[in-house]
Structure 1
Amino acid sequence: MEIESTFEESGYSEEFQKIYENMVDIMSANDYRPMKFKELCYLYDINTAEAKDEFLTFINKLCDEVKLIKTKNNRYMLPPKNVLTGIYSSTRKGFGFVTVEGYDEDFFIPAKDNMNAFHGDKVLISVLKGARGPRAEAKILRILSRNTSELIGVYQQCEGYGFVIPNIKKIADDIFIPKGASKGAVTGSVVVVDIKSFGTEKKSPEGIISQVIGHIDDPGTDIIQVIRSYNIPVEFPDDVEAELDTIPDEVSEEEKQGRRDLRNLQTVTIDGEDAKDLDDAITLTYSNGIYHLGVHIADVSNYVREGSPLDKEALRRGTSNYLIDSVIPMLPHKLSNGICSLNHDVDRLTLSCLMDIDESGKVISHEIVEGLINVNERMNYSDVAKILERSDDSLLERYKDYISFFDLMLELSRILRAAREKRGSIDFDVAETKIIVDENGVPVDIHPYERNDATKIIEDFMLIANETVAEQFFWADIPFEYRVHETPLQEKVDSLREAIRAFGIFFKVSKDKIHPKEYQKLLKEIEGKPYEALITRMTLRSMQQA
């Protein structure tokens, strides 16, 4: 029997698929005895060395996907029904948890059942029945793959040997460094250690130091630790850099064709003072009782094509990473700070949500179009707030042509916020903070971010645009990703109710349904009280994440 040498992109070749289906039939029988590889070769008439190699690759792939299990004596069988695959998270106390895709809750793994799994390992678990406690319990049957090859940590020198204390606090064991493997590290050195052995119950994991990053007291070392610990990519691959050379610095006339020309509208961006990538802009006019609001988002998809090196790299990174005083972008700066940043006085391509909103805050009509805009002013939250408050004469003089524009924004913002509140929207006014560092990267102060009318304007306009887009896709019955807050868990609500009772506050909620307006009432009741911040955070934590 000849085996096809290639796998189809969508799965196995047709012949491999038939073999697997036959295996399932055979191995599902009550009298099936697990078979060795050579017995499977005999069963499927696989004789040549080349065919056996291809068949073994196929079998190993099935095992990697846990469609088959290889026993300790090298026999093959189907996995039991209560067996799952997931990623192990360890703790310093020895027990751990396994996250399984498709399950809302992790599985608790007692220390005696962790099979010396290491943090991040892909493992095979068996779910235990009748386990005590609120969380489902399981035991690890097998470690399918070791997903940690190196770690970042702080070196501790001993007599003739050393240890590395991992930065990831969930890792239960320090890493033993034998004599001659320290690469000149001293106590306090921040190092990269290559794992050579994952240890046993009685023996620590072992490794060798491959790089000394610096000393724990050196400026900037802590940032490097974070980047390396979480494998955050800093440099972009060569194929991405090559693709960047094909992307223009300015919008070409050809790219402008077929787009809705919105350059005649008064357009501003409003962001933080130190923002570099300006990805949203606002237009707003009013006529005959209708507010004409435009929310314009930089059209990155015009330059990042599906399947391109840029697209694949952005998918791999997933997001930009914001550190204390810097950012590691998802897209190269030529895009994020250049052609895809809505800088003022230059033409830019956008995806624009154009909404007509009545005086009660209801969107009565809308369009989502490919737009072309030119930002008139790059504003920041502080300046817009001062203009709205009429508290800075120099700003009022400089932006005198925009005062009525910003007043109109505030007017619509308050209408939208009141409409949301009427529907039961919950506004958690929890202060965010910014860490201030000196020239050496050492934190010197912590400031709260000011939440003012300007920040609320952008919040309100972004929310109404998001709702409008989501509603369009919902009614079009098109598959779409929605940001949804599920109903809070009853046990968390009960805990909140018990905690705030000590403050003389009673939280009345039904066990069948918890309406957002009950949370509204609670937040209004504590407004201005000394314990407002505490109870606000407790209330926020009682809710489900989106």
Structure 2
Amino acid sequence: MLNFLEKLELGVNYDELNSKQKELAKILLKEKIISEHKKILYLNNLFVWGKIDLTKNGDAYLLSTQTKKDLFIKAKDLNSALNNDLVFVKQKNHSNASVVLVLKRQSEFSIVLTQKLKGLIFGKCFNTGLLRQLKASQKSLKLLPVGTVLRINNENNEILEVLGHISDDLVDEKISMALFNKFEEFDKASLDEAKAYIFDILPSYYPNRKDFSSLAFCTIDPIHAKDYDDAIYFDEKENALYVAIADVSEYVSAFSALDNEALRRGFSIYFPHKSIPMLPRILSEGTCSLNPNENKLVLGFKIIFDSELNVQSEELFSAIINSKRRFNYDEVDEYLKNPIDLKECNYIYKLNKVTNKIRAKRLKNGFNFDTKELRLELNKEQEIINTYYESSTPSHSLIEECMLLANKAAAKRLQEVGIFRNHESPNYQKIAKMYEELQIIGIDFSPTNSLHENIIKIQQLADEIGLRSEVDKIIIRSFKKACYQHKNLGHFALGFELYTHFTSPIRRYSDLIVHRLLKSENEKMYNYLCEDIVNKANSISDLERSAQKVALDFIDRKFARFANKRIGYMFKAIIVNDEDKMSIAVLDDEIKGARVFLYNNCFPIFSNVIVQIIEVDLMSASIFAKVIKNV
């Protein structure tokens, strides 16, 4: 849709539109937002499209690339538009406008919390904090306890579902999912398709696939993983790495019910206690998953290295494998430290040495960041019982380098148009701001013309003062975000000229598209699969961000629950953000990683302090505290 709207500003030929764009064009013509002359569509004067940015008092601004400054929209002129909706407005003057058409809802639903005001029950919106009248009688609303969480229809405020009560720990998962319009259950059509593929895989059924079932493939994943996308095997004699990826495209056909459901979800969502898969579990954890000692269909690359570990050849293969062993990261780390006989999987020791050398070569152009993943452990009532940071280990690095090699090999085989994982270089203003921020914490140096050299130097200085992880976060913040696009722009952070995602089709829709493109038998099929690829790439990037937000929102809610039961308690914390309005600290005590907003702070960033919990807002999952002392 965005691509079509951008073209309207210069004029677009009606005959060149796809079916969905033609339907939209008819609506815009009827509303007199656009005009047609000799089959060329033009945007009429005074009409502007963009996204709604709602304020706390109910008014809004239109965020648009068409105007130099945001247009102001009074609450009475919103015409039912809600926050982040894509709309068309008509300008009243140079700064004011009114909504004439809602093009696309950010969500069909809103989540509200029932509240009592002057004897009446309203719904307070989680996203905006604004009160909404509910389409239900006050008599029935008063039967619900105040603080009930509801999912309502954005068109008419009708109650669709009672999610639970805000006081219940178990409601957090439902809130986080509903806030971002996510659902756990699959529709019947996609489930029926998934069940159709339950059968044993025999090599004789697939004469066109290579039979690699005798090769000692293995998987290496987190200890609690249930779906296994990738398996590896290393042939020491041939100096060849085999990266085999679950061939999900064999079971999920383009434009099928399963495919539509996977595209709607885009990504699997990972909570501390469970996952919400992109594909039905019967596929993601069963038919497609590379479980040990089971024949599985795969698509992969055989990558042969020369004696200097330069890639000599990359052969795409369609095959059957039978994973001989399922490892987890912790045990592989232990074996790499204290080797034992892994029998047919002993090649892991040699492969580790190979990937270490490949990694060292890659980092001459790319970057190595000391990132730590926050992990939560919950009990059956979904209360926090433990938190810890998980750092990258040798086993993580081994698998990462194998996957990077396969992703690069896949990107090379894509045509000019496809799905690429791009990461553009940062702009000068952000880098200059980063240098200023680093000077404040004592990292001062003379920049050269090479950004790569500068960042390496910054990381070395950060190591010397024991702030590597914190400084790496500042560096990453100055970078642009990686995203999916239909044309290749390279990957700055990895130092790659070409890159895509190929290795996780069970949990990422982008990889499923890449698999189909690699398997397309001719250019006609390739182009067919690339239909509407621009919008798909944009949609997948949006879905990636929303999947991440769901998981982060849930974690914030768990921390808010923990803090709400500890009002007045004191904790060790680290100042991580010092802004004019309100500083932010992160707990670094028995519980780690919880963000707290500070009412008072006179200490610089990265100071170790003692904070006292003062207030908690369960609705916004916000914790407020005050600094007691600097330690």
Task: Name the TM-score class by shorter chain.
Answer: 0.7 to 0.9
Indicate yes or no: 2:457 matched with 1:521.
yes
Higher relative contact order (CA 8 A, sep 6+): 2
Indicate yes or no: 2:147 matched with 1:173.
no
In structure 1, C-alpha distance between the alignment counterparts of 2:331 and 2:66, rounded to whole Å: 44
| Aligned pairs for 1:56-455 within 5 A | 61-62=24-25, 64=27, 66-67=28-29, 69-70=31-32, 79-80=43-44, 83-92=47-56, 108-110=70-72, 115-116=77-78, 117-125=81-89, 139=97, 141-145=99-103, 147=105, 149-168=108-127, 171=128, 173-177=130-134, 179-180=138-139, 182=141, 184-195=143-154, 207=157, 209-287=159-237, 291-390=239-338, 399-401=341-343, 404-422=346-364, 424-455=365-396
In structure 1, C-alpha distance between the alignment counterparts of 2:426 and 2:92, rounded to whole Å: 27
Query: Which residue type is aligned with residue 374 of structure 2?
Result: T
TM-score (norm 1): 0.75
Query: Which residue type is aligned with residue 309 of structure 1?
Result: A
Quote the offset at 1:427 in angstroms: 1.1
Quote the offset at 1:229 in angstroms: 2.3
- Contact 1:348–1:372 (CA under 8 A) maintained in structure 2: yes
The verdict on how the C-alpha distance between 1:190 and 1:514 changes in structure 2, with shifts beyond 3 A counting, is: farther
In structure 2, C-alpha distance between the alignment counterparts of 1:478 and 1:307, rounded to whole Å: 23
Quote the offset at 1:520 in angstroms: 2.3
In structure 1, C-alpha distance between the alignment counterparts of 2:66 and 2:474, rounded to whole Å: 22
Deviations 1:299-325 (A, max 9, x none): 011111122211121112211122231
The verdict on how the C-alpha distance between 1:450 and 1:195 changes in structure 2, with shifts beyond 3 A counting, is: closer
Deviations 1:117-158 (A, max 9, x none): 4214331147999x9xxxxx9855534357355321221123
User: Residue 8 of structure 1 aligns with which residue?
Assistant: none
Q: 1:500 aligns with which of 435, 438, 445?
A: 438
Query: Which residue type is aligned with residue 432 of structure 2?
Result: D
The verdict on how the C-alpha distance between 1:535 and 1:284 changes in structure 2, with shifts beyond 3 A counting, is: same
User: Residue 476 of structure 2 aligns with which residue?
Assistant: 540
Quote the offset at 1:251 in angstroms: 1.5
Unaligned regions of 5+ residues in structure 2, if any? 1-12, 16-20, 34-40, 483-631
User: Residue 24 of structure 1 aligns with which residue?
Assistant: none
Q: Secondary structure at the match of 2:336?
A: helix
Q: Secondary structure at the match of 2:362?
A: helix
In structure 1, C-alpha distance between the alignment counterparts of 2:204 and 2:63, rounded to whole Å: 49
- Contact 1:267–1:281 (CA under 8 A) maintained in structure 2: yes
The verdict on how the C-alpha distance between 1:191 and 1:518 changes in structure 2, with shifts beyond 3 A counting, is: same
- Contact 1:93–1:172 (CA under 8 A) maintained in structure 2: no
In structure 2, C-alpha distance between the alignment counterparts of 1:348 and 1:94, rounded to whole Å: 55
The verdict on how the C-alpha distance between 1:127 and 1:435 changes in structure 2, with shifts beyond 3 A counting, is: farther
In structure 1, C-alpha distance between the alignment counterparts of 2:405 and 2:96, rounded to whole Å: 44
Quote the offset at 1:255 in angstroms: 3.9
The verdict on how the C-alpha distance between 1:244 and 1:472 changes in structure 2, with shifts beyond 3 A counting, is: closer
Q: 2:422 aligns with which of 471, 484, 488?
A: 484
In structure 1, C-alpha distance between the alignment counterparts of 2:333 and 2:123, rounded to whole Å: 50
TM-score (norm 2): 0.65
Q: Secondary structure at the match of 2:279?
A: coil
In structure 2, C-alpha distance between the alignment counterparts of 1:99 and 1:412, rounded to whole Å: 50
The verdict on how the C-alpha distance between 1:412 and 1:110 changes in structure 2, with shifts beyond 3 A counting, is: farther
The verdict on how the C-alpha distance between 1:538 and 1:97 changes in structure 2, with shifts beyond 3 A counting, is: farther
In structure 1, C-alpha distance between the alignment counterparts of 2:362 and 2:98, rounded to whole Å: 48
User: Residue 504 of structure 2 aligns with which residue?
Assistant: none
The verdict on how the C-alpha distance between 1:173 and 1:352 changes in structure 2, with shifts beyond 3 A counting, is: same
Q: Secondary structure at the match of 2:441?
A: coil
Aligned residues: 455
Deviations 1:280-335 (A, max 9, x none): 00011223xx6211111000111111222111211122111222311111111111
- Contact 2:151–2:161 (CA under 8 A) maintained in structure 1: yes
In structure 1, C-alpha distance between the alignment counterparts of 2:331 and 2:443, rounded to whole Å: 39
Quote the offset at 1:263 in angstroms: 2.1
- Contact 1:291–1:412 (CA under 8 A) maintained in structure 2: no
Q: Secondary structure at the match of 2:358?
A: helix
User: Residue 541 of structure 2 aligns with which residue?
Assistant: none
Indicate yes or no: 2:466 matched with 1:530.
yes
Unaligned regions of 5+ residues in structure 1, if any? 1-18, 22-57, 72-76, 132-136, 198-206, 391-395
In structure 1, C-alpha distance between the alignment counterparts of 2:441 and 2:194, rounded to whole Å: 59
In structure 2, C-alpha distance between the alignment counterparts of 1:298 and 1:251, rounded to whole Å: 13
- Contact 1:183–1:211 (CA under 8 A) maintained in structure 2: no
Sequence identity percentage:
25
Query: Which residue type is aligned with residue 447 of structure 1?
Result: Y
The verdict on how the C-alpha distance between 1:67 and 1:537 changes in structure 2, with shifts beyond 3 A counting, is: farther
Query: Which residue type is aligned with residue 180 of structure 1?
Result: K
The verdict on how the C-alpha distance between 1:90 and 1:255 changes in structure 2, with shifts beyond 3 A counting, is: farther
The verdict on how the C-alpha distance between 1:293 and 1:484 changes in structure 2, with shifts beyond 3 A counting, is: same
User: Residue 535 of structure 2 aligns with which residue?
Assistant: none
Quote the offset at 1:183 in angstroms: 6.1
Q: Secondary structure at the match of 1:307?
A: coil
The verdict on how the C-alpha distance between 1:108 and 1:324 changes in structure 2, with shifts beyond 3 A counting, is: farther
User: Residue 458 of structure 1 aligns with which residue?
Assistant: 399
In structure 2, C-alpha distance between the alignment counterparts of 1:113 and 1:152, rounded to whole Å: 20
In structure 2, C-alpha distance between the alignment counterparts of 1:406 and 1:357, rounded to whole Å: 16
Query: Which residue type is aligned with residue 32 of structure 2?
Result: K
In structure 2, C-alpha distance between the alignment counterparts of 1:503 and 1:349, rounded to whole Å: 52
Q: Which moved more, 1:250-259 or 1:103-112?
A: 103-112
Query: Which residue type is aligned with residue 459 of structure 2?
Result: L
The verdict on how the C-alpha distance between 1:143 and 1:444 changes in structure 2, with shifts beyond 3 A counting, is: farther
Q: Secondary structure at the match of 2:189?
A: helix
The verdict on how the C-alpha distance between 1:172 and 1:70 changes in structure 2, with shifts beyond 3 A counting, is: farther
In structure 1, C-alpha distance between the alignment counterparts of 2:56 and 2:222, rounded to whole Å: 40
Aligned-CA RMSD value: 3.4
Query: Which residue type is aligned with residue 228 of structure 1?
Result: A
- Contact 2:73–2:98 (CA under 8 A) maintained in structure 1: no
